């Protein structure tokens, strides 16, 4: 044998001795088309098993049998499967693919002969897909399939095979959000304010059946405590119908009728089940606080959100999902006791459907908290007729009430136009039955040449006899209680709204938002107009300017008109980096005579961006008051904690909030960050300290678990672990998993680990010889855990301080020996323990 073959032979045994290097060398050998043999004379003093070593040198020489492997198709992970390797007369073996693997890889010819034996119920890749090849990396338990594009069924972008959807594991979880607020005043006559608000949302999963609840607890020193159960329901995905079944305390979808709280059942299309390429909202709330203030958001009379904000402009972008209609009423309670309120319009925009795609919704039950409660049913159907036309229809039936809607959307070069006509027939107290009509016209368009976007322009008109079911139920209850019923929609005649955004490229962005509505019965018109300009410059400098004018209507020519102006400028104090603070200065003016000036300093306290701070100073010219405030927020792996405080002329204020989640599962209790509706519990026993790549600042805890707060339902999610900071004597056997959960699933993702000390054993036979190189090494459970190297060198990892291994190099009784080991008296601080043992 030439020197090259000798060198290659030595290298083969070297990678057996050092597995970390051997994976790369094995891959190189596997891709080679050359065949090599090992001369026993090269290993004097060693027993030599030519048969065992042949499979290490020859391509496709894996021992026939079943192997659990990660299968990749054209470099894309297909999944983990049991793959049968079929042996051939020339001593080679090739992966024989089952129908399950072929189907998951989207091979067009995904059929194989039906047989009761594993060997006959599979086909080679070149038989299923002419031109296809396979490549095996045994050390990494990875099988790569290369398949010509014309042999693959190309699914829609984002398609997930329903058979691969994960229902998740059985778990119970609770999200908690707690906010404590305290204000103490210098004046003895002014009572101090203390309040506590806690939101609890979560539920329990039993397979694909999911229970959910949303409730909150409120306490203050003046009114005591109150528990409010907002929603409680059960949901069950129906992927076969692209829909979701729900029953319990629900909210109507509100696509074409007003949103109603009700107790009942619904089945509706869930567009999340569709691929991305086949798919056809809570709004952002913006406002300004003058102190550390408590912000509360109400919809349809129910508080759905509460938080504490720092002085200055604020944005709320994380509202819990609500119905599609019902304006959001926002109240800002300042530390000095003043309260400001405003409303955020919330309604649906025109919806276009792809041709051939339908969306349906069926809801029935009894209304709740909507006046004189009544049984009702809603039926909605939408269908894409062509690329340009969508047909919409809906009906609502209740006690003494019927409504029918017909409409559609037309998409053209002039924009998307949505139009619908609704007829109602309602029984009102005192007046009896009335009929009426309501028409709506909506339009949206982006003008590419000027980059102008009109996101929604809508006009609504209703006749005197038209009434919404919510108003009818409210009027009935008011009449029973000898009261008058009033609402924004009760006597509304028409409404017009417009939102426009204009990009000026490098010169910034301009937006306009406006709405106006008039009423019957003597109430004057409501009008709201807001114009704004924003721009970002080099070095992180930004500027924002907005002017707003609002007229709130009233009776007998009464009303209120105000104009608001705000200007803000922010810039970093230094260069770039996660810990560079930012300074923001703002001026706010109102026609009631108030002027406010504010400066805010904010930044991060650590390079990992887990802790943030803000320091603020504000001057109110109208009340001649200067306020100092500040706050700190820290994001831990198990919760997020924030504190804030402020000081004014005659008061001081303090607040604190905590949010996070608790999950109960078969392995115990795990704490983590606030969870979304679909989340994952990552299990890696013994891998404490390993980082979860998918979410910042998450790591495996001492119990071997971590909570990944949000994963995307009906989409493939790759979850990866980084073992760099892993503690203890453990190694990851795999560090990447792929799952496709159903909506609402609590998925459990298990990463295999091998726990124990790393051993390097020098094994010899009683006669002084070494066991054959290439011999299989088996543990007490007869599981293959390694291969013997040159000169009897054996590497393994075990958590047992002593035990017995089996070395096997043939099928006869004399082709094996038993190797005891014992390191219970050894120093275990070293990452690698060396032992000598006799194999008998």
Q: What is the 3-state secondary structure (H, E, C) of 757-774?
A: EEEEEEEECCCCCEEEEC
> Got the DSSP string for 181-211?
EEEEESSTTS--EEEEEEEEEEEEEETTEEE
Instruction: Name the 3-class secondary structure at 449.
Output: coil
Q: Is the pLDDT of residue 655 over 70?
A: yes
Highest mean pLDDT among 57-66, 395-404, 763-772, 778-787: 395-404
What pLDDT was estimated at residue 151? 79
Average of per-residue pLDDT across 650-666: 95
Contact 640, 633 (CB under 8 A): yes
Beta strand residue intervals within 537-624, DSSP E:
542-553, 559-572, 582-590, 595-604, 611-620
d(CA 804, CA 782): 11
The pLDDT value given to residue 114? 45
Structure-block tokens of residue 82: 């049991």
* Position 350 confidence tier, pLDDT thresholds 50, 70, 90: low
DSSP-derived letter for residue 352 is -
More reliable by pLDDT, 569 or 756:
569
Give the DSSP H/E element, type plus range, for residue 273.
none
Give 802's pLDDT tier (boundaries 50, 70, 90). Answer: confident
Q: Give the strands of the sheet with 123-124, arranged side by side.
A: 123-124, 93-97, 76-87, 65-73, 142-146, 133-137
Cβ–Cβ under 8 Å, residues 447 and 501: no
Q: Is 481 exposed, middle or buried (0-12, 13-18, 19+ CB in 10 A)?
A: exposed
Query: What whole-number distance in Å separates Cα of residue 468 and Cα of residue 438?
Result: 10
CA atoms of 701 and 690, how far apart (whole Å): 8
- Measured CA angle at 375 (ends 370, 377), to 5 deg: 100
Confidence of residue 49 (pLDDT cuts 50, 70, 90): low
The average confidence (pLDDT) of the chain is: 83
592: pLDDT strictly greater than 90:
no
Q: Pairing mode, if any, of strands 679-683 and 746-750? A: parallel
Average pLDDT over residues 516-532: 88
Of 423, 455, 416, 426, residue with least CA distance to 439 = 423
Instruction: Say what the pLDDT of residue 421 is.
Output: 96
- Tell me if 743 sits within 8 A of 160, measured CB to CB: no
pLDDT at 840: 84
Spatial distance between the Cα atoms of 446 and 193, rounded to a whole number of angstroms: 49
Measure CA 669 to chain center.
Answer: 21
476 pLDDT more than 60: yes
- Per-residue pLDDT band at 559 (split at 50, 70, 90): low
Name the pLDDT band for 263 (thresholds 50, 70, 90).
very high
Tokens, residue 51: 């048969």
Buried/exposed 285-302: b ≥16 CB within 10 Å, e otherwise: bbbbbbbbbbbbbbbbeb
Strands (E), 385-525: 389-398, 401-412, 415-428, 432-447, 452-462, 492-503, 509-519
Q: Report the share of the chain in percent with pLDDT over 70.
A: 85
The answer to whether the beta carbons of residues 762 and 791 sit under 8 Å apart is: yes
Q: Give the pLDDT mean for 244-255.
A: 91
Predicted local distance difference test score (pLDDT) of residue 28: 39
pLDDT tier for residue 399 given thresholds of 50, 70 and 90 = very high
Token duo for residue 795: 């590497």
- pLDDT of the residue at 234: 97
Lowest-confidence range among 53-62, 182-191, 339-348, 400-409?
53-62
Quick one: tokens of 725?
A: 């900071």
Contact partners, residue 349, CB within 8 Å, separation at least 6: 281, 418, 442, 444, 455, 456
Say what the pLDDT of residue 88 is: 85
Mean pLDDT (whole number) for 101-129: 74
**211: nearest Cα among 239, 248, 238, 178:** 248
SS (H, E, C) 78-105: EEEEEEEEEECCCCCEEEEECHHHHHHC
> In angstroms, how far is the first alpha carbon of the chain from the final one?
34
**H/E stretch holding 476:** helix 469-480
- pLDDT at position 398 is 96
Q: Quick one: pLDDT at residue 556?
A: 66
SS3 478: helix
The closest alpha carbon to 590, from 343, 337, 346, 342, belongs to 342
Mean pLDDT calculated for residue range 187-214? 93
The mean pLDDT of 427-445, rounded to a whole number, is 89
Segment 155-168 shows an average pLDDT of: 82
pLDDT of 265 > 70? The answer is yes
């Amino acid at each position: 044998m030439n020197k090259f073959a000798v060198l290659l032979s030595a290298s083969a045994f070297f990678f057996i001795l050092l597995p970390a290097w051997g994976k790369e060398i094995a891959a190189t050998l596997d891709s080679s088309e050359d065949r090599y043999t090992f001369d026993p004379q090269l290993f004097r003093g060693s027993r030599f098993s030519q048969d065992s070593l042949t499979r290490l040198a020859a391509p496709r020489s894996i021992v026939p049998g079943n192997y659990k492997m990660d299968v990749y198709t054209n470099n894309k992970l297909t999944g983990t499967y049991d793959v049968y390797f079929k042996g051939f007369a020339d001593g080679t073996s090739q992966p024989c693919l089952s129908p399950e693997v072929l189907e998951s890889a989207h091979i067009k010819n995904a059929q194989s002969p039906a047989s009761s034996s594993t060997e006959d119920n599979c086909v080679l890749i070149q038989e299923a897909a002419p031109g296809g090849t396979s490549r095996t990396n045994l050390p990494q338990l990875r099988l790569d399939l290369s398949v010509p594009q014309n042999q693959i069924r190309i699914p829609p972008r984002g398609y997930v095979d329903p058979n691969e959807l994960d229902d998740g594991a059985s778990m119970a979880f609770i999200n908690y959000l707690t906010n404590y607020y305290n204000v103490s005043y210098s004046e003895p006559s002014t009572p101090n304010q203390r309040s506590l608000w806690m939101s609890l949302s979560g539920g329990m999963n039993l397979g694909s059946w999911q229970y959910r609840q949303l409730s909150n607890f409120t306490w203050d020193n003046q009114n005591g405590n109150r528990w409010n159960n907002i929603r409680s329901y059960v949901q069950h995905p129906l992927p076969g119908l692209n829909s979701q079944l729900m029953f319990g305390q629900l909210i109507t979808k509100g696509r074409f009728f007003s949103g109603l709280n009700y107790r009942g059942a619904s089945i509706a299309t869930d567009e999340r089940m569709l691929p991305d390429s086949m798919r056809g909202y809570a709004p952002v709330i913006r406002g300004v606080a003058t102190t550390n203030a408590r912000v509360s958001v109400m919809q349809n009379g129910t508080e759905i959100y509460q938080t504490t904000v720092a002085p200055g402009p604020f944005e709320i972008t994380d509202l819990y999902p609500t119905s599609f209609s019902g304006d959001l009423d926002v109240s800002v309670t300042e530390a000095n006791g003043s309260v400001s309120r405003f409303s955020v319009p919330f309604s649906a925009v025109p919806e276009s459907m792809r041709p051939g795609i339908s969306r349906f919704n069926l809801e029935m039950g009894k209304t709740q908290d909507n006046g004189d409660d009544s049984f009702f049913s809603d039926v909605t159907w939408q269908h894409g007729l062509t690329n340009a036309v969508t047909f919409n229809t809906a009906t609502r039936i209740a006690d003494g009430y019927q409504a029918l809607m017909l409409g559609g959307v037309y998409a053209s070069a002039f924009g998307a136009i949505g139009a619908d006509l609704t007829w109602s027939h309602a029984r009102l107290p005192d007046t009896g039955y009335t009929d009426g009509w309501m028409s709506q016209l909506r339009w949206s368009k982006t003008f590419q040449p000027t980059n102008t976007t009109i996101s929604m322009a809508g006009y609504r008109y209703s006749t005197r006899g038209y009434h919404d079911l919510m108003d009818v139920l409210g009027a009935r209850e008011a009449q029973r209680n000898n009261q008058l019923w009033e609402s924004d929609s009760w006597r509304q005649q028409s409404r017009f709204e417009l939102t426009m955004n204009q990009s000026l490229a490098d010169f910034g962005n301009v937006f306009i938002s406006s709405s106006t509505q008039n009423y019957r019965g003597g109430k004057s018109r409501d009008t709201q107009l807001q114009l704004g300009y924003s721009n970002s410059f080099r070095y992180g400098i930004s500027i924002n300017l907005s002017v707003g004018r609002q007229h709130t209507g009233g009776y007998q020519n009464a009303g209120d008109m105000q104009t608001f102006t705000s200007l803000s400028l922010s810039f970093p104090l230094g260069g770039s980096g996660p810990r560079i603070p930012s300074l923001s200065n703002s001026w706010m003016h109102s026609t009631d005579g108030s002027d406010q000036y504010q400066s805010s300093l904010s930044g991060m306290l650590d390079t990992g961006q887990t802790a943030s701070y803000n320091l603020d100073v504000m001057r109110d010219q109208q009340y001649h008051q200067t306020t100092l405030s500040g706050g700190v927020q820290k994001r831990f792996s198990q919760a997020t904690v924030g504190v804030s405080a402020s000081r004014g002329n005659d008061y001081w204020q303090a607040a604190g909030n905590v949010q996070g989640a608790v999950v109960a599962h078969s392995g115990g209790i795990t704490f983590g960050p606030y969870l979304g509706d679909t989340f994952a519990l990552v299990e890696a026993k013994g891998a404490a300290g390993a980082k979860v790549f998918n979410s910042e600042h998450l790591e495996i805890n001492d119990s071997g678990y971590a909570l990944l707060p949000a994963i995307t339902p009906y989409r493939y999610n790759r979850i990866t672990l980084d073992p760099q900071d892993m503690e203890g004597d453990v190694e990851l056997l795999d560090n990447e998993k792929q799952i496709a959960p159903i909506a609402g699933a609590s998925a459990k993702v298990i990463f295999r680990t091998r726990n124990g000390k790393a051993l390097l054993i020098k094994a010899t036979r009683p006669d002084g010889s070494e066991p054959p190189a290439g011999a299989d090494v088996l543990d007490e459970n007869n599981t293959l855990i390694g291969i013997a190297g040159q000169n009897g060198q054996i590497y393994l990892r075990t958590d047992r301080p002593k035990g017995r291994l089996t070395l096997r190099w043939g099928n006869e009784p004399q082709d094996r020996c038993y190797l005891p080991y014992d390191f219970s008296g050894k120093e275990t601080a070293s990452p690698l323990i060396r032992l000598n043992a006799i194999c008998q």
